[in-house]
Chain A
Amino acid sequence: MKTSIARKILMALSGFFLMFFLLQHVTINSLSLCSEDTFNSVSHFFGYNPIIQYILQPVLIFGFLFHLIMGMYLEYQNNKARNKKYAKHNSAASSNWMSRNMIITGIMILLFLGLHFYDFWVQEMNYKYVEALPENPTRYYHELQLKFVDVWRVAIYVVSFIFLSLHLMHGFQSAFQSVGFRHNKYTPLLKKLGTAYAILVPLMFIIIAVYHHISVSH
């Protein structure tokens, strides 16, 4: 953690971890498009399995907080590294918008996660530990649908997923470069894979949100 390269590598590793989590998250959510029962039983398993609840969930929260705090710290240091800004800086000539604005897309994702935590996680914790209601393995699908009744909430979700997509467009391939993986043959392929991941995963989340909004309001 002491040097810039160590921080860069840790940033990439936490990024890999979060991208893996996203893949798992989107897979489970996609089940809600196919079968109410499967979605319910998988959600119930994830919600009550002790290894997931007491080990993986804290690891996820730690990984997320690490990525967030480190990202903010790097931004602070990087601002300090140029104490006097250019009057004219044509940065678009040499780099893309996504790579320069990870802090902006990151903060938008953070704001979204505030709402998302309130929507699902806080209510789940409340159900399980505060009110200590009995286990009900069939409640999840219904709870999910209720969240997407409000068109404004769906809109916020959709916009947030676009920010997520922009963040991943740079993040995916950047993480590989940071851990030193670069190869004349595989890096171009990896960049394509990164773009596909950055489009498909958020798009899938969008489809799920919109699908439930439409299905519940008709």
Chain B
Amino acid sequence: MSDKTMNLTLKIWRQKDAKSAGKLESYPISGISEHMSFLEMMDVFNEQQISAGNEPVAFDHDCREGICGSCSLQINGEAHGPDRRVTTCQLHMRMFKDGDTITIEPFRATAFPVIKDLVVDRTSFDRIQHAGGFVSVNTSGNTQDANSLPVPKVDADNAFDAATCIGCGACVASCKNASAMLFVSAKVSQFALLPQGKVEAKDRVLNMVNQMDLEGFGNCTNTGACEVECPKGISLDNIARMNREYMKAAIKKD
């Protein structure tokens, strides 16, 4: 395997804490292998910063295999960078060319305030989940026989697809309106499609949408940017479904 290396200029958003103003700083970095993941490149960068006695850049990460939703980053103006269906931890440096300048910013939304450098506070998503993203029945330890409640294959598949949302927030970061509709619609859909979720469907959609608005996310204008930038390929079908679920619930509300 050939091992091409590249020299890059990184323009990184530096911000001391939530209250400071912050600004983009330029740093040269050399000898980056094309096989590295983007976060490995960031690790190399931070090690160099530490050896030079500088403050390393703070960024979020955990699983490094695209399943936890911790990593974020707006890379050259796109959430999780220029590749499709990958998170930043799965993004390869071979997507860039020797001599490139890479702009790295935090996900920006009023509901995602910056904590430090590239780390943003995404607890607004947790609060939306707490407002209704669950079923109230305790299923642990008393699992039913799966065949006792038949579910059509299409519904099961669609529910599963919706459930693959990792809550990363790339949809919000990409949307010109900083709308959280794709995330919320995935969480609404994964339950709305299954019999266990139907019981609380009405309250769920109303409460989650209400919380989404309270957090200060923008209004969806159907630009479709979220779907393109989502690392899990969550589809706009879910947003249409949530619009229907919402209409049903609002009309039937007592």
- Which residue numbers of A lie inside 8 Å of B, CB to CB? 3-9, 74, 77-78, 80-91, 93-96, 99-100, 102, 170, 173-174, 177-182
Contacts and interface: CB of A to CB of B under 8 A. Distances in A.
- In the complex, the 3 A-B pairs of residues with the closest C-beta atoms, listed nearest first: A90-B77, A81-B218, A180-B244
A9 B243 contact: yes
Given A81-B110, A180-B247, A94 B228 contact: yes
B165 interface: no
Interface of B: 11, 13, 24, 74, 76-78, 82, 103, 105, 108-111, 114, 174, 176-179, 181, 209-210, 212-213, 216-226, 228-229, 236-237, 239-244, 246-247, 250
19 contacts: A4-B218, A5-B209, A5-B243, A7-B219, A74-B221, A78-B179, A78-B218, A81-B179, A81-B216, A82-B108, A82-B178, A82-B218, A91-B77, A94-B228, A95-B225, A177-B240, A178-B222, A182-B240, A182-B241
A174 B222 CA distance: 6
Contacts, number: 135
A90 B108 contact: no
A78 B178 contact: yes
B222 A93 contact: no
Q: Most A CB atoms within 10 A — which of B223, B225, B239?
A: B223
Contacts of B213: 3-4
Nearest to A99: B223
Given A3-B210, A9-B247, A177-B240, A81 B178 contact: yes
Contact of B219 (A78, A83, A90, A182): A78
Given A78-B218, A82-B108, A177-B239, 14 more contacts: A4-B179, A7-B219, A78-B221, A80-B110, A81-B216, A82-B110, A86-B77, A87-B11, A88-B77, A90-B76, A94-B229, A95-B223, A99-B224, A180-B247
A180 B245 CA distance: 9
Given A74-B221, A174-B221, A86 B241 contact: no
A70 to B, nearest CB: 10
Nearest to B21: A84
Contact of A88 (B103, B218, B220, B242): B103
Nearest to A92: B77
B177 A81 contact: yes
Contact of B216 (A3, A74, A80, A88): A80
Contacts of B243: 5, 8-9, 177-180
A177 B216 contact: no
B250 A6 contact: yes
Contacts of B105: 86-88
Contacts of B108: 82, 84-86
A4 B78 contact: no
A108 to B, nearest CB: 17
Contact of B109 (A82, A89, A180, A182): A82
A11 to B, nearest CB: 8
Contacts of A178: 220, 222, 243
A78 B76 CA distance: 22
Contacts of A177: 222, 236, 239-240, 243
A93 B175 CA distance: 12
Nearest to A81: B218
Contacts of B177: 78, 81-82
Nearest to B109: A82
A100 B176 contact: yes
Contacts of A102: 221
A95 B219 contact: no
A104 to B, nearest CB: 12
Q: Most B CB atoms within 10 A — which of A9, A91, A173?
A: A91
A89 B173 CA distance: 10
B110 A93 contact: no
A179 B213 CA distance: 19
A173 B224 CA distance: 12
A77 to B, nearest CB: 6
A47 to B, nearest CB: 36
Q: Most A CB atoms within 10 A — which of B11, B177, B210?
A: B177
